[in-house]
Amino acid sequence: MTQHNYREMLRLGVNIDHVATVREARYRGRGWGEPDPVAAAIACESAGAHGITAHLREDRRHIQDRDVWKLREVIQTRLNLEMANSAEIVEIALSLKPDITCLVPERRQEVTTEGGLDVAGGLRELTETRKRLNDAGIEVSLFIAPDPKQIEAAARCGSQFIELHTGAFAESFGEERQGQAELHRLVSGAAQAHSLGLKVNAGHGLNYQNLTALLSVPYLVELNIGHSIVSRSIQTGLPAAVRDMLKLMSTYQG
Q: Tell me which residues are annotated as active site.
A: 55, 82, 204
Question: Could you tell me if 229 and 53 are in contact, meaning their C-beta atoms sit under 8 angstroms apart?
Answer: no
Give the number of other CB atoms < 10 A from CB of residue 32. Answer: 8
Instruction: Give the H or E element holding residue 73.
Output: helix 65-74
Residue 200 region, left (φ>0) first, then alpha (ψ -120 to 50), else beta?
beta
Neighbouring CB atoms inside 10 A of 179's CB total 18
Q: What are phi and psi of 10, to 5 degrees?
A: -75, 130
CA atoms within 13 A on the CB side of 220: 30
> Residue 253: left (phi > 0), alpha (psi -120 to 50), or beta?
alpha
Q: 81 forms bridges with which residues in the sheet? A: 54, 101
Residue 141 CB contacts under 8 Å (≥ 6 apart), including other chains = 80, 100, 101, 102, 103, 159, 160, 161, 162, 163, 201
Helix, strand, or coil here: 232?
A: helix
